[in-house]
Amino acid sequence: MAQQDRAIRTRRSILEAAARVFGERGYASATVEEILNRAGVTRGALYFHFSSKEEVALGVLEAQLPLDRLPERSSKLQKLVDHGMVMAHRLQHDPLVQAGVSLALDQGARELDRDAAFRAWTEQLEQILTEARSQGELLPHIDVTDTAEFLTGAFAGVQAMSQASCNRADLGRRVSVLLRHVLPSISTPALLAALDLSPDRGERVFEEYEANSPAATAPVTQG
Amino acid sequence: MAQQDRAIRTRRSILEAAARVFGERGYASATVEEILNRAGVTRGALYFHFSSKEEVALGVLEAQLPLDRLPERSSKLQKLVDHGMVMAHRLQHDPLVQAGVSLALDQGARELDRDAAFRAWTEQLEQILTEARSQGELLPHIDVTDTAEFLTGAFAGVQAMSQASCNRADLGRRVSVLLRHVLPSISTPALLAALDLSPDRGERVFEEYEANSPAATAPVTQG
């Protein structure tokens, strides 16, 4: 295995261990020692990749950022829907994405810039909404920043409630309900009827995404 | 001071101390010792009121339940709006309410029935939506359970984002944005124009509530 592959594997196993420790104890009470023990790596290996517990946490937060290169759609509101649905799918299946979202909601993590996680999502959605506006897809009174911020916050809470209720088993359905409650307030009526808001949309779009970008999603542990 | 007043004061100071400890360390890492020290009460006093850390946490979770006896409105959707706006106001001003909401979102608190907090809100909103339906205020396709669950989750996330961004200073505005994005999808159009969704609504309704029920809200520490 090339040295670079090994470094990528080590970084990933540190992040996965940190995700479990943060999830069990909360950020504030987690220690670098516990992360080392769980990951089975040396202190030197950890400090090669991360200078502090905070930096490890920023690595975990990164895992929940919006995916680049989701398939393009002629309707930009469909692309907006796809981002939400794919995120629901990733949250159901990727422990690192789950840990990133939990950290963003962890009020005990005072030294972390948790707001950055929310801002990244807001900016992504704002950009898609601006494209939708330029194509005439939005109702005229919409403020794209307000809508993007609201969607980010609403999604965060809906997934938290789904996690508390059934470990996110019904998250696809809940995000579909969210979209059916919000899109009539932002989309032109004719487009609304053409959008696919079905609960299993996320899985289908994620498969399409993976087929188009094998390099980005191949498991790094198969070196 | 009567013995009963003293017991109520002690219970409240234990809950306030627990709220601070849970807020700083997360539920999983908080200890009964820390809560005792912070509250300045004896172990015997704590166990007189609560049998375990979990029971203290359930007391904190109770603080964020919907208020009974909010002023009645001829429009039940206005009453729905008022519940959200008053909750935003309480979250800005009452540390115990803040701690209750944080606990409901604390994924590290595995032994706690956090879902009960979400269910209590969902049931309250479901009841108001059912009243609204019987008065002809809802669009015909609305499923009151879906709408109540979605509103509960969306509110939880919007307040978390406001907390991360500015310690909830803008929460009234954000809840107003939430309602403007959702009510057009559930309310009949004629009623929609008559609803008061303004950001300072919560403060005004909470003052009205306090004027109507002085006993319920008098500070227990002035015995």
In a 3-state reduction of DSSP, which class is residue B58?
helix
Task: Answer yes or no: is the ipTM higher than 0.90.
Answer: no
Query: What is the spatial distance between Cα A170 and Cα B121, in angstroms, rounded to a whole number?
Result: 19
Do residues B18 and B5 make contact, with C-beta atoms less than 8 angstroms apart? no
The whole-number mean pLDDT for each consecutive block of 10 residues of chain B, a chain of 223 residues, reads 83 93 86 95 94 94 89 96 97 93 84 89 97 98 98 96 93 98 96 96 95 62 39
| CB-based contact B107 A105, cutoff 8 Å | yes
**What superfamily does domain B76-217 belong to in CATH?**
Tetracycline Repressor, domain 2 (1.10.357.10)
The answer to whether residue A220 scores a pLDDT higher than 80 is: no
| CB-based contact A157 B162, cutoff 8 Å | no
Mean pLDDT within A86-103: 93
Mean pLDDT within A135-143: 97
| CB-based contact A156 B152, cutoff 8 Å | no
Domain positions in chain A are: 3-62, 76-216
- Provide the pLDDT for residue B176: 98
**What superfamily does domain A76-216 belong to in CATH?**
Tetracycline Repressor, domain 2 (1.10.357.10)
| CB-based contact B26 A24, cutoff 8 Å | no
In a 3-state reduction of DSSP, which class is residue A187?
strand
CATH-assigned architecture of domain A3-62: Orthogonal Bundle (1.10)
B118 near A CB under 8 A: yes
Upper half-sphere CA count for residue B87 (Cβ side, 13 Å) = 26
Do residues B211 and B2 make contact, with C-beta atoms less than 8 angstroms apart? no
- Provide the pLDDT for residue A223: 33
In chain A, whose CA is at the least distance from the CA of B166?
A115
Do residues B67 and B86 make contact, with C-beta atoms less than 8 angstroms apart? yes
Question: pLDDT tens across A150-180, in order?
Answer: 999 999 999 999 998 999 999 999 999 999 9
Mutating which of A161, A171, A174, A176 best tests the B interface, going by the most B Cβ atoms within 10 A? A161
Fold of the B3-56 domain? Arc Repressor Mutant, subunit A (1.10.10)
A147 near B CB under 8 A: yes
In a 3-state reduction of DSSP, which class is residue A138?
strand
- Which residues partner with B138 through β-bridges? B187
Instruction: Point out the residue among B25, B28, B178 whose CB comes nearest to the CB of A154.
Output: B178
B23 near A CB under 8 A: yes
Average pLDDT, chain A: 91
Instruction: Point out the residue among A154, A174, A184 whose CB comes nearest to the CB of B185.
Output: A184
